[in-house]
Amino acid sequence: MAAVEGRASLAQIVEAGDYINHAVFSDQELNGGLERLGRIGLLSKNGDMIVVEKEAVNLHEEASRKTKNLIKIMENLEKLLIKKFHAES
């Protein structure tokens, strides 16, 4: 699984989105999201692989520290990402 390895191919990211949320990303959504996450240092690219940086792992740990509820974790992550994105922009 990509999250365990800390890196994933674009195909694995699309597959995970489909599995988790039955989401089909448009090219624009995928490229825009990856670019924004890269710009704030959460992802980087190594060849054909997208690498999850330590800061992204730290944000996930913070978001899930007080809950195991997936919806609450996603809400917490959204708040943390908005805060980080606006601080970095």
What's the pLDDT tens digit per position in 28-53?
998 999 999 999 999 999 999 999 99
Q: Domain with 56 in it: what CATH number?
A: 1.10.10
Domain count, the chain: 1
Check whether 82 has a pLDDT greater than 80: yes
More confident residue, 61 or 15: 61
Burial class (CB in 10 A: 0-12, 13-18, 19+), 42: buried
Check whether 69 has a pLDDT greater than 90: yes
Domain that holds residue 45: 2-88
Whole-structure pTM value: 0.75
What percent of the chain is modeled with pLDDT above 70? 92
